[in-house]
Chain A
Amino acid sequence: MSDAAIKLIGLKKSFGAVEAVAGIDLEIADGEFFSMLGPSGSGKTTVLRMIAGFELPTAGRVELSGRDVTRLAPFERDVNTVFQDYALFPHLSVIENVEYGLKVRKVPRRQRRERAEEALASVRLDGFGQRRPREMSGGQRQRVALARALVNRPKVLLLDEPLGALDLKLREQMQVELKQIQRDVGITFVFVTHDQDEALTMSDRVAVFDDGRVAQVGTPEEVYERPGTPFVAGFVGTSNLLTGEAARSVFGRDGAYAVRPEKLTLEVDGEAGVPGTVAEVIYAGPVTRFVVDLDAGARMTVVEQNRRTGTAALGEMRGKRVRLTWHEEHVISVKENADAA
């Protein structure tokens, strides 16, 4: 890892009696696409707002490229933000919105226009400069907000759930575009989202937030394949978590274990595997989810690709006796109560 673009040291934030961020240490490398993933209320947006300077930490430090900026105002920091509601100025045209930061920094008029046009072209909005934000669609506004931030060439771009208001198709398209833009401009992106697909698809590394703390930091693959806590196992993708009596009976040893639904295989006839009964069959287009009640007393979800199965056959599966098999290497041992440690 090269020189850290962002360093958070013992960062805390309380709102009255509520502790939103309970002590966070993170290093985000230069040029990294870094996601902060977590459910609402887990503190990820508050951390982003402290990096931007909108909130003052209760304790701890924020460093940007080695410089302590904890107490600096937003206009004194070399970061720009893409807001969840885009926050485009409604009384200014699109090009004036994009120019705003350059105008404030007294970039000469002609150069300003040029750079703003360039930024608009980079988000494929050339020719839209004279429109008002309200005359544009959600996806277009989102790209204007992106251009308005990128045109200032900040060291760090902060994105606060920028795709949250878009519909699924557009969101998937923007995910690809954002990743491309980040690779092209090469600046550090800090991306806040509650959508695990989004975080896994785009990021170099992901920090999973749980109740004001970072539960785990790692590459998407690490976080998905080797979740460190039951919370991470449950929040990033779906997991079948086995604890206590059920774990003892299935694995023959104590502990907490997680198996991803797609790693399980459903056997209708056969002797090997753990026995159970199909409680529910949910057809979901490309895949089918089987909910299986194990005789050992746990409920497991199995995901199977719909390569052969037809819907008629699926209906008959409900209530059938089955056996579940998996490879030992796909069993994840998660330590319980990681937060208490």
Chain B
Amino acid sequence: MTVFHRHPRLRLAALLSAPLLWLVVAYLGALAVLLVSAFWTVNGFTGEVVREFTLANFRTIVTEEVYRNVALRSLGVAASVTVICAVLALPMAFFMAKVASPRSRHWLVIAILTPLWASYLVKAYAWRVLLANDGPIDWLFLGHGPGYGLTATIIVLSYLWLPYMILPIYAGLERMPTSLLEASGDLGARPGRTFRTVVLPLIVPSLFAGSIFTFSLSLGDYITVQIVGGKTQLLGNLVYANIGAANNLPFAAAIATIPVLVMVIYLVAVRRSGALEEL
């Protein structure tokens, strides 16, 4: 292998050629096809794709109220899921990183990770049973459970993505020296104040890192909403419906660019906080 030793460029090429090929062809290629086809249309008569540049799809999305509503609803769901996950994950991660003994910490991390090993579909259907009419949750709330619909969708998505929020915050808190908390208390701050003025500012990047997961995963989801969402429509459903029943691939592509665009804007916005270094 002295050839590689003498030619560092060759070494680099051998290392990176496979992943680079994958990245360019499979990953960026698919994204490019999505973007390009979003500007095509379908011949309403024959159902064939017309490969001519037009803004018609985007015009429809912006002008038709249905699509605007679905887009806003999807954003709302993603934002709610992110906030719920953050509120649940903060105390949980804090307990794991700063309160629990090193031994139980180990088990807690495993407990957080195990749900990720179970199938997504199984978990979603489990919630369908929980949320069913006269099901356990209905019984718990004396017949006033949320039932299937928007609320159920938000609950189940929060459940599914919670680990993705806990883990980065846990990692951030574990990196933070405990002496900072002690110093704050030593200087006269009560725990609540220490949390606001020391802990929170220092884990904002981790919080954003977690939110990138919860937000993007919620924004693209279409299975959970089908299982527990009742009649609720999200962007994912629209894409799915246009690929399948409506057979309008260009329009599906146009809708699919919305979450991509939203995520790009979101990433640019949180980049300054240092969140991307936390991923």
Interface of A with B (CB < 8 Å)?
A: 52-54, 73-75, 79-81, 83-85, 87-91, 100-101, 104-105, 148-149, 152
Contacts and interface: CB of A to CB of B under 8 A. Distances in A.
Dominant SS at the A interface? loop
A81 B202 contact: no
B182 A54 contact: yes
Contact of A152 (B179, B188, B190, B193): B188
Interface of B: 177, 179-180, 182-190, 193, 197-198, 201-202
A87 B188 contact: no
Contacts, number: 58
Instruction: List the 4 shortest-distance A-B pairs measured between CB atoms, nearest first.
Output: A101-B187, A87-B179, A87-B183, A74-B185
Given A89-B198, A90-B202, A104 B179 contact: no
Contacts of B197: 100
Given A75-B189, A90-B202, A100 B184 contact: yes
Contacts of B188: 75, 101, 104-105, 152
Nearest to B202: A91
A190 to B, nearest CB: 13
A89 B180 contact: yes
B74 to A, nearest CB: 34
Nearest to B101: A16
B201 A75 contact: no
A149 B187 CA distance: 7
B179 A75 contact: no
A85 B179 contact: yes
Contacts of B183: 81, 83, 87-89
A138 to B, nearest CB: 15
Contacts of B180: 87, 89
B182 A83 contact: yes
B185 A83 contact: no
B175 to A, nearest CB: 11
B262 to A, nearest CB: 29
Contact of A104 (B177, B182, B193, B202): B193
Contact of A81 (B186, B189, B193, B198): B186
Contacts of A105: 188
A54 B186 CA distance: 9
Given A83-B182, A148-B187, 13 more contacts: A54-B182, A74-B186, A80-B186, A83-B179, A83-B183, A87-B177, A89-B180, A89-B198, A91-B202, A100-B187, A104-B187, A104-B189, A104-B193
Given A83-B179, A83-B182, A85-B179, A152 B201 contact: no
A96 to B, nearest CB: 10
Contacts of B190: 75
Nearest to B187: A101
Contact of B185 (A73, A85, A88): A73
21 contacts: A52-B182, A53-B186, A54-B182, A54-B186, A74-B186, A75-B186, A75-B188, A80-B187, A83-B182, A83-B183, A84-B179, A85-B179, A87-B177, A87-B179, A89-B198, A91-B201, A100-B184, A104-B187, A148-B187, A149-B187, A152-B188
